[in-house]
Structure 1
Amino acid sequence: MTEQGVRWTADQVLALAPDAASRKAGSKLGTAGPWSGAGRGATGAVWGLCRGSGSRPYRTVVDITGPAYSCSCPSRKFPCKHALGLLLLWAADADAVPAGVPAPDWVEAWLEGRKARTGPRGGKGDAAKPVDAEAARRRAAARAARVTAGAEELERRLADLLRGGLAAAEQTGYGLWEETARRMVDAQAPGLAGRVRELGAIPGSGPGWPVRLLEESALTHLLDRAWLGVDRLPGPLATTVRTRVGIPTPAEGPPVRDHWLVLAQYDTSDGKLTTRRAWLHGRETGRTALLLSFGAAGRAPDLALAAGTAFDAELVPHPGAGQLRADLGERFTAPVPGGGPPPGGTTGDALAAYGRALRDDPWLDSWPVTLADVVPVPGADGWQLADADGGAALPVTASALGRAGLWRLAAVSGGGPVTVFGECGHRGFTPLATWSPDAPGTVPLT
């Protein structure tokens, strides 16, 4: 434990790196040798001077509560290798970054400047420019018209697909799909573009691909028709449709304050953008929330939450039917060990929860659930999570089969029942964290 709460692990630090080269370079700076004047403050700042090739050491400071970084080096990567090295030094040895050391003037100046630039929720303060409501309305209307044109074009593409027969999709190749996806991007409908790329990857993907192509084409058609009639939909569902086609909706409504347990955090990437997902559970409210953070152009996602920790904070929910996404607002405490898992149910309860969620959002791939008293069981067709009382079982998704976390889950279980949090969907169950009755604490599986 430190003044900032729980000290990060090396894996959590390296997850911030924008690329493999930064991870390697930062690891070399994670020892005390190149550092001097290191220290940490009660408000979440870690700083130090790193010896480089020049005559003056690089001034490096990290605000762990953000996280946010500053370094006097010329690197364009964010965070740079010096920030990663400083955090690795702190993660490995708290004594090497001692507390109670007065912060240098350059650290105080950066922290004060950061505080002035951001509001209580990390957004812009009162100095933000006023919004021109009429100009915003015109921009929204123009974008909606472009999305409508894109949806109509995609409907024609789907009609051509069915008219020519699904079997022909394997011969046409991926090029036509990619061209259609680019046109959806031009129409400012990135959600539709993503669905088109998924459709293009299905032909020839293995046994049963025509069935999968028909299913996904039907869902894409449903989204198209929903957008074309969005003005006639109920408000929450209309917001969900707008989000699915790629029109962002800001967080709104009253903030929800709770002691939030970090259930899991993991990254996905499409080659251009890294998306970091963090699942939280509110101890008092019982709510589950999803925090998203993005990184591109040499930047890692800013969000960094240690699984198994908990903190007192406000979350601002996003609108929409069945939406769990929220933005992190003001934090009132540092993260501390969070204790046991949220309440769980059977595999049947998990499927029922996913089914109810689909009524609000038919395009939902999965839903967060906690399984209680399940046993990981290997089989000829892959792993399953089976109810300990001999009831039903859920197949583990193919995306999770190659992860080391699956073997970690088996080791924690040892053949006995455990509690598992993960995402339950039509492809199966993806385990993200587990708890054993014989040992306290969260075991991350990502």
Structure 2
Amino acid sequence: MPRRNWAGNVRYAARAYHRPTSIDELRRLVAGSNRIRAVGSGHSFNRFGDTDGDLVTLAGLPPAVDVEPDRARVTVSGALRYGDVARQLYAQGYALANLASLPHISVAGAVATATHGSGQTHGNLATSVAGLELVTADGDLLWFDRDTDGDTFAGMVVGLGAFGLVTRVTLDLVPSFEVRQYARLDLPREALDEALGSAYSVSVFTDWRTPRLREVWRKQLADQPPPPADWLGTTAADQPRHPVLGMPAENCTPQLGVPGPWHERLPHFRLGFTPSSGDELQSEYHVPRAAAADALAALDDVAHLIAPVLQVCELRTVAADELWLSPNHRRDSLALHFTWIADTAAVLPVVAAVEDRLTPFAPRPHWGKVFVTDPAELAARYPRYADFAALLGSLDARGTFRTDQLDRYFPR
């Protein structure tokens, strides 16, 4: 049976699919393969992770969540889902500073693509990475550390799976905390910047059918006062909401200001529920936070193209970082996330139109989503792009972890 990604838009070309149950078995597998890639939770929408060689899941390796209290760090198996890691951390009194919308995604896969949550003071998930263990092309098991490998480490964290198969990841921890989530309706666009900075984590949803923004989800620390009744000209939702109209709200994390653990409020969706059927495509672009209003205004010109193929658009902020391939490299960002209908032929022309309108803001696409950006244009938007390509050539000279899409954007 052919294997596909979660959304079903990518049919993997791999000649074989493997599920090793030990590190030694994995090392032998990698050393004996000329082309190999890891597949995580399958929540990528493009072919960076596809290969005509061997495809391997690391979900069969022994799971581990090892907390180091003296260093406020935890080392976890790369294939574990964030939601499963979070439950164990919460039971021990710890937290991760940020989580993505989906707790279902694997740690290694999310880190490799700079997947993120929201919050103007929070970096994407890769910024909490302090160490990486990889099986490299020769089958060696190597450890790379933020404290000792410095600049090279900053190039490897958002690595697109190109340096090896990530078996363990060390993450920074913070003390556990509680969050309240409030949904507010009908935000005036001129209030967007204030709304995005108003709570620990904020997401704004729109459908590009009206000038106003449909919903604001404020995830605030539990000890902070609730938003006033007339907050920024919005009204309070009187029942739980789902980002996509018509979808069941019971799939979503608790709202209406009910306090709860960080890992049960920061994601949009509950771990025990499938967030959707996967009947969708996704794109996302990161532009400078200071250009948020101008970027939205630029897209107004193509709103008539966006709306017919859109399920929902989410606006979030992400703090700047120093990771070479992070879309937030050295700039605070506004992320514009588009959940499209599952019709590639209809969506791709709109993706191209969105990219064209955002060009003045040097948009950086999410590495795991659908985009059509020219490689030369994308390279110009990353100060360390050439350094990443050089590092890739030195650490995987044989091209064991190469894919066609990697070759297109980082030619040898």
Q: Same fold (TM over 0.5)?
A: no
TM-score bin (small chain):
under 0.3
Q: Which has the higher contact order (CA 8 A, sep 6+)?
A: 2
Could you say which structure has the larger radius of gyration?
A: 1
The TM-score with structure 1 as length reference comes to 0.24
The TM-score with structure 2 as length reference comes to 0.26
